[in-house]
A = this chain, B = another copy of it.
Amino acid sequence: MPTKTYQIGVEATMEVIGGKWKSIILCHLRQKAMRTSELERAIPQISQKMLVQQLRELEAANIVTRHVYQQVPPRVDYSLTDYGHSLSGVLHDLCVWGEENIDRRREQGEAITLLHRDDL
């Protein structure tokens, strides 16, 4: 099998948290374990397919775990693994930088809104 090669560490990080949805999902899970329907409500624009697909990829990367409760109707929840928690600081900083970026752009006259701040 061919050796996977990275030039620089950030490439590997972006494989894990990059894309449109992963970092958003992780920022939510950073705060608490959440069930599927809860994540759907927290991220209204995401489709069910994308949510599930991204969660599977995060599971495969050992960042989140899936916990199935033996119930009907089904109940499943997702939380960060210990390893996933090692991203917590980065995720928080990404949120904060974005909040500042939005404030800045608004001050410069851009019509822009942020619904939820990451207050921790």
Give the interface of A toward B (CB within 8 A): 1-14, 16, 18-20, 23-24, 27-28, 43-45, 83, 86-87, 89-91, 93-102, 104, 110-118
The answer, among B11, B27, B110, for a CB contact under 8 Å with A24, is B11
Is A113 a contact partner of B3 (Cβ separation < 8 A)?
yes
Chain B residues with CB under 8 Å of A86's CB are: 97, 100
Is B90 a contact partner of A93 (Cβ separation < 8 A)?
yes
Chain B residues with CB under 8 Å of A118's CB are: 8-10
Q: If A90-B90, A93-B90, A93-B93 touch, does A98 touch B12 (CB 8 Å cutoff)?
A: yes
Bound together, the chains give a CA A43 to CA B7 distance in angstroms of: 8
CB distance from A13 to the nearest CB of B (A): 4
Is A111 a contact partner of B4 (Cβ separation < 8 A)?
yes
CB distance from A94 to the nearest CB of B (A): 5
Chain B residues with CB under 8 Å of A27's CB are: 8, 10
The answer, among B9, B23, B96, for a CB contact under 8 Å with A102, is B9
The answer, among B6, B94, B116, for a CB contact under 8 Å with A113, is B6
Bound together, the chains give a CA A6 to CA B27 distance in angstroms of: 14
